A = this chain, B = another copy of it.
């Protein structure tokens, strides 16, 4: 330690500090706590990593939390099915209920398949996880991108449908539906950036309110139907769809495709098994059966009653609104209760997208297929970047498709059913492996029933694969083509990203690396425009790096150069000065040429550092009055090997 011009007292303090900080090889410094700012006001105080909450849910509450997404589909699936049938007139409309029955059969098959996933993956078995563990990276990335498109469209559709319910009750809001949808989306984003805990309180009340209102509506509807009081729809919406198309098999398949949106969200529970109270697999499986049962019964009931009243699908009033006002005799309190419950559960359903999209991008990011930054948790412990990405894309979709559920649905279910298929296919492989003794962690040691379980999952996979194809073909021209093109493109991008990370990891790896060559010689170059106090500060710094310092002056004006030379003789302390004549008045180019010249003549293990003085002015606008040499130099030299540009900021005060 050198003796500086300090009082003895201060010097001792300095020594004490050094003892504390520097004699240990490794030490731990006390922690940092963020200060409040405008972000605190908007998002709440920062949460420590250790604060990450973990709660377990009972079955009833879990049904509310995980069921909101699936159950909310009652609000749009029947409508979207009838939209297609309406285009072929009254006869076609009669096919609504039979198609609904087929969809409920499909729901049963999918539910049985996922029952097995829950038992096999007690740690949570989303399509991405199951596909990655059983089918490899490519299938996993296809499942991942399919799920990502699914979540984005879930957010866009659920919000649009929620706003459509509100607009049904208050038709004067119709022109503002896009703005309302985007505003609502931003509010949900903000809530999720603050961190919405999937707590029972938040979900249980609205979900059970919705279930109650729907059961009351369907119950009252059947009561009136059987007593002959459920009359045909009065006062139908003005923008009703007119019968213009013939009734064909293709049309029925299109209606079926739209109806399959009822199945979206069914897989949620298999993803969140860890959130259940013990015995968790048992409880999760039970809850899923209840959820699917409720969904199936209500879906059938609503579809039947819509047929009975002869509902008229339209953009300006949802069929749920039509059913409710026919059942409750007008827009009264019971009607408004039904609309409110439907709207709220749709908004809760959006939250599934906000919970799962960022989690999935983080997982894919950690696996190195998306930018790693997505796995970074923000100040509120949520994956902020994923939340913002989801919001941006969903908002774009809402704006482009004018918040129309009918326009958005054709983009949706392809992703859902592709992920279903890959998940079930993965499970089929899983059972096959168990049957052939290739057991994996998390699976029961030797499952005798592996063969029948494999058959169930294989059947599920085939069914959902067939639905995927039906959907992609029948809705291709309506918008499914976007997804059919998008998923492979996204997968390609993910693979390119993964290759970059892999290659980089290999290049940066220390395995099989001998000690890299040591720096033996360090040449320091200091470009100078004039000789002033800032130059001396820069020169002093340069001399502290290495004894081999060269100052370089680019000569544009001869008189100025002469002044620099004379001043250098006085102040340059014998450091050699190279003067480069620049007859074309360029500064950067001749300097760079000189540096590259020297660089070519370097020894092995020789490093070069360009030290540039940079005035830091008092006010930001003063920067306009000075050239930003260091910035351009760094930019020009960034790609040169073993050349470092150091900016020495000097503040004058």
Q: Which of A578-608 contact B (CB under 8 A)?
A: 578-586, 589-590, 593-594, 598, 601, 603-607
The residue of chain B having its C-beta at the shortest distance from the C-beta of A365 within the complex is B625
Contact A541 B34 (CB under 8 A): no
Contact A516 B532 (CB under 8 A): no
By a CB distance below 8 angstroms, the chain B residues around A517 are: 5
New A-B contacts (16) at CB < 8 Å, excluding given A5-B517, A32-B580: A11-B603, A17-B601, A26-B576, A27-B576, A29-B578, A31-B581, A32-B589, A34-B586, A378-B585, A379-B585, A510-B571, A513-B533, A518-B540, A522-B544, A639-B649, A643-B649
CA distance A229 to B516 in the complex (A): 100
**Known contacts A601-B13, A645-B647: does B625 contact A565 (CB below 8 Å)?**
no
Contact A580 B31 (CB under 8 A): yes
Contact A579 B26 (CB under 8 A): yes
CA distance A606 to B18 in the complex (A): 14
Among the listed stretches A41-49, A153-161, A337-345, which one makes contact with chain B, having 4 or more residues with CB under 8 Å of it? Answer: A41-49
By a CB distance below 8 angstroms, the chain B residues around A627 are: 373
**Known contacts A567-B510, A646-B644: does B604 contact A31 (CB below 8 Å)?**
no
Contact B644 A550 (CB under 8 A): no
CA distance A14 to B48 in the complex (A): 57
Contact A651 B639 (CB under 8 A): yes
Q: Write the nearest CB–CB distance from A570 to chain B, whole angstroms.
A: 8
Say whether A225 faces chain B, with CB atoms less than 8 Å apart. no
The residue of chain B having its C-beta at the shortest distance from the C-beta of A504 within the complex is B652
Q: Can you list 6 residue pairs at the A/B interface with Cβ under 8 Å?
A: A2-B520, A2-B603, A13-B601, A17-B601, A28-B579, A644-B647
**Known contacts A13-B601, A504-B652, A616-B638: does B537 contact A29 (CB below 8 Å)?**
no
CA distance A531 to B582 in the complex (A): 44
Say whether A53 faces chain B, with CB atoms less than 8 Å apart. no
The residue of chain B having its C-beta at the shortest distance from the C-beta of A550 within the complex is B22
Say whether A534 faces chain B, with CB atoms less than 8 Å apart. yes
Contact of A26 among B371, B520, B565, B583 (CB under 8 A): B565
CA distance A538 to B184 in the complex (A): 48
By a CB distance below 8 angstroms, the chain B residues around A601 are: 13-14, 17
A interface bracket (residues with beta carbon within 8 Å of B): 35 or more
Counting from the closest, the 9 A-B pairs by CB-CB distance are A32-B590, A508-B532, A4-B603, A48-B583, A507-B652, A519-B544, A2-B520, A4-B604, A646-B646
This chain: copies in complex: 2
By a CB distance below 8 angstroms, the chain B residues around A576 are: 22, 24-27
Say whether A556 faces chain B, with CB atoms less than 8 Å apart. yes
Contact B521 A533 (CB under 8 A): no
By a CB distance below 8 angstroms, the chain B residues around A208 are: none
Residue-wise interface mask of A (419-459) relative to B, using a CB-CB cutoff of 8 A (1 in contact, 0 not): 00000000000000000000000000000000000000000
Say whether A377 faces chain B, with CB atoms less than 8 Å apart. yes
Say whether A54 faces chain B, with CB atoms less than 8 Å apart. no
Q: Which of A504-549 contact B (CB under 8 A)?
A: 504, 507-510, 513, 516-522, 531-534, 536-537, 540-541, 543-546
The residue of chain B having its C-beta at the shortest distance from the C-beta of A548 within the complex is B22
Contact B644 A500 (CB under 8 A): no
By a CB distance below 8 angstroms, the chain B residues around A579 are: 26-29
CA distance A532 to B506 in the complex (A): 10
CA distance A72 to B305 in the complex (A): 87
- Chief secondary structure at chain A's binding surface: mixed
CA distance A625 to B1 in the complex (A): 42
**Known contacts A576-B26, A584-B48: does B556 contact A540 (CB below 8 Å)?**
no
CA distance A549 to B550 in the complex (A): 25
Contact of A584 among B29, B379, B606 (CB under 8 A): B379
Q: Write the nearest CB–CB distance from A341 to chain B, whole angstroms.
A: 38
Contact of A541 among B11, B379, B513, B607 (CB under 8 A): B607
Contact A6 B644 (CB under 8 A): no
Say whether A175 faces chain B, with CB atoms less than 8 Å apart. no
By a CB distance below 8 angstroms, the chain B residues around A497 are: 625
CA distance A507 to B377 in the complex (A): 46
Say whether A477 faces chain B, with CB atoms less than 8 Å apart. no
By a CB distance below 8 angstroms, the chain B residues around A584 are: 32-34, 46-49, 379
Residue-wise interface mask of A (615-644) relative to B, using a CB-CB cutoff of 8 A (1 in contact, 0 not): 111000010111100000010001101011
